[in-house]
């Protein structure tokens, strides 16, 4: 130690004037403390807000707007409970949609899977049905007409009945739907007279997508309504009638509503589905129910296991009205013809007993081929018809990204991270305090 230098420094320090500290030193310190804390909170909020809005990998649909993944997945998993909602970040056009109970909504929710493989939730109102997906996957027509790309929802006036799913034209620019006119609940006046009409005829309308207008093309009882557009979109086949015993198939001119052909349908016959018109435009595919008509109430081998419905397909010659039965008989479950693939019809068949679903292709003269198209959730998923007919199948299984989350989930995550960080800081302070206490045993007091 340079002892002389020490003595000189002590002498020099002795020249330091005596000073008085201001009385508000403590308050200045407190103000400094609050400013520091406010800055810390502000910084945390800024970081959280930035993290919330920054696009993370595989999160938003917008960054995939230009992708053209033309493969349908073999499986789509359930969404996360905190999955981003469609209204907050539309992700259309859709690759598929399906219903699920796996959401924080108490009712059934709809899952929209975009072409970028993003998942979005649509919370349905109680009793609201999924609606019909347009062939190009851009629109969903239910209680409202929803543009899945922009997220715009147009309320139709008057509203179409979602009880009868709308059927889309091949160009996705119009759809045929029903405006129910029946008074479902019988009402009587003060003298007991009936003041409503449960037999009022329903309006069959064409919904125009560009302007949302409705045009009535036919008026009839629509209790057994089903429809299918011709491949060129100029004609539409509809099944109308009060009940299964009084069912009629009409082929209408879409532009004028003129009935071009009327064919009576039997109790067991029905238009096979929204894609029932064959690609060549000459045939209309019907389903013919075999055996018991009303599955799952049909008697099965045991009381707790009802019999499965059976059916086969028929071909109706549009020009002559003649009906020909297909050779393959005894197909199981409730069918819906949804597309044509490689010249053969593709049907979704639902087992009403357990609500399970399979999508099968029926090549002529061959056994049914089950297609690798499945999704979690209830019943059959809906695929755009164009995708079913043209895209590659058996794509990789799709699982949602947990980062495609609603904003509140980021807030919760931020709070968890902040709590963890605070815990780490607290433990760090405790550790430093302990080490400083140990060091202070050897540190000298400053000179007085």
Partner 1 sequence: MTAGPADSFREYVHARLGTLVRAAFLLTGDSYLAEDLVQQTLAKVASRWEQIVADGNPDAYVRRVLYHQHVSWWRRWRREPLPVAAVPEAAGADPHGPTTTAIAVRQALARLAPRQRAVLVLRYFEDLTEAQTAQVLGVSTGTVKSQARDALARLRAVAPELADLQEVSK
Binding site for partner 1 (CB under 8 A): 1-6, 8-19, 21-22, 25-26, 28-30, 32-33, 36, 429, 432-433, 436-437, 439-440, 443-448
Residue that is written with structure tokens 């309504």 in the block? 225
DSSP result, 264-331: EE-TTEEE--TT-B-TTSSEEEEEEEES-SSTTSS--SBTTBPPPPEEEEEEEETTT--EEE-S---E
Q: Could you give the CA distance from residue 44 to residue 56 in angstroms, rounded to a whole number?
A: 19
Q: How far is the CB of 423 from partner 1 (least distance, A)?
A: 16
Among candidate residues 323, 180, 188, the one with its CA nearest the CA of residue 265: 323
Q: How far is the CB of 37 from partner 1 (least distance, A)?
A: 10
Q: How far is the CB of 3 from partner 1 (least distance, A)?
A: 7
Q: Could you give the CA distance from residue 107 to residue 367 in angstroms, rounded to a whole number?
A: 39
CB closer to partner 1 out of 8 and 262:
8
CB closer to partner 1 out of 22 and 301:
22
Q: Could you give the CA distance from residue 161 to residue 180 in angstroms, rounded to a whole number?
A: 6
CB closer to partner 1 out of 37 and 305:
37
Tokens, residue 294 = 């009303």
CB closer to partner 1 out of 327 and 443:
443
| CA 413 to chain CA mean position, Å | 25
Q: How far is the CB of 151 from partner 1 (least distance, A)?
A: 49
Q: How far is the CB of 22 from partner 1 (least distance, A)?
A: 7
Q: Could you give the CA distance from residue 100 to residue 110 in angstroms, rounded to a whole number?
A: 6
Q: How far is the CB of 40 from partner 1 (least distance, A)?
A: 12
Q: Could you give the CA distance from residue 309 to residue 291 in angstroms, rounded to a whole number?
A: 7
CB closer to partner 1 out of 125 and 445:
445
CB closer to partner 1 out of 342 and 437:
437
Contact 75, 375 (CB under 8 A): yes
């Amino acid at each position: 130690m340079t002892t002389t230098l020490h003595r000189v420094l002590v002498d020099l320090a002795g020249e330091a004037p005596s000073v008085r500290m201001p009385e508000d030193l403590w308050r200045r310190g407190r103000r400094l403390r609050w400013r520091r804390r406010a800055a810390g909170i502000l910084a945390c909020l800024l970081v959280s807000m930035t993290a919330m809005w920054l696009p993370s990998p595989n999160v938003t649909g917008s960054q995939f707007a230009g992708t053209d993944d033309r493969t349908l997945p073999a499986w789509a998993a359930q969404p996360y409970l905190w999955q981003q909602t469609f209204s907050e970040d539309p992700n259309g056009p859709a690759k598929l949609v399906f219903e699920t109970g796996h959401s924080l909504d108490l009712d059934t929710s709809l899952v929209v899977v975009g072409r970028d493989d993003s998942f979005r939730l649509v919370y349905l109102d109680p009793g609201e049905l999924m609606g019909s997906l347009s062939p190009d996957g851009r629109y969903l027509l239910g209680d409202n007409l929803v543009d899945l790309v922009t997220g715009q929802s147009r309320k139709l006036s008057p509203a179409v009945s979602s009880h009868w799913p709308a059927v889309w034209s091949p160009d996705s620019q119009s759809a045929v739907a029903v405006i129910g006119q029946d008074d479902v609940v019988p009402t009587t006046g003060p003298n007991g007279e009936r003041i409503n009409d449960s037999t009022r005829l329903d309006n069959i309308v064409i919904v125009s997508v560009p302007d949302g207008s409705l045009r009535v093309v036919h008026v009839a009882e629509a209790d057994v309504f089903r429809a299918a557009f011709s491949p060129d979109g100029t004609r539409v086949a509809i099944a109308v009638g009060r009940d299964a015993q009084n069912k009629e198939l009409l082929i209408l001119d879409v532009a004028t509503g003129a009935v071009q052909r009327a064919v009576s349908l039997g109790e067991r016959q029905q238009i096979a589905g929204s894609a029932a018109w064959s690609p060549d435009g000459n045939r209309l595919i019907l389903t013919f129910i075999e055996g018991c008509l009303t599955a799952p109430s049909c008697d099965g081998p045991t009381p707790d296991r009802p019999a499965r419905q059976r059916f086969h397909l028929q071909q109706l010659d549009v020009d002559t009205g003649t009906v020909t039965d297909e050779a393959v008989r005894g197909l199981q479950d409730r069918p819906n013809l949804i597309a044509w693939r490689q010249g053969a019809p593709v049907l979704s068949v639902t087992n009403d007993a357990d609500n399970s679903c399979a999508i099968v292709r029926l090549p002529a003269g061959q056994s049914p081929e089950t297609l690798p198209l499945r999704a979690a959730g209830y019943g059959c998923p809906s695929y755009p018809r164009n995708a079913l007919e043209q895209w590659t199948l058996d794509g990789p299984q799709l699982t949602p990204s947990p980062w495609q989350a609603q904003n509140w989930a980021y807030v919760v995550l931020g709070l968890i991270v902040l709590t963890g960080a605070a815990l780490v800081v607290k433990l760090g302070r405790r550790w430093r305090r302990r080490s400083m206490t140990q060091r202070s045993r050897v540190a000298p007091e400053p000179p007085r």
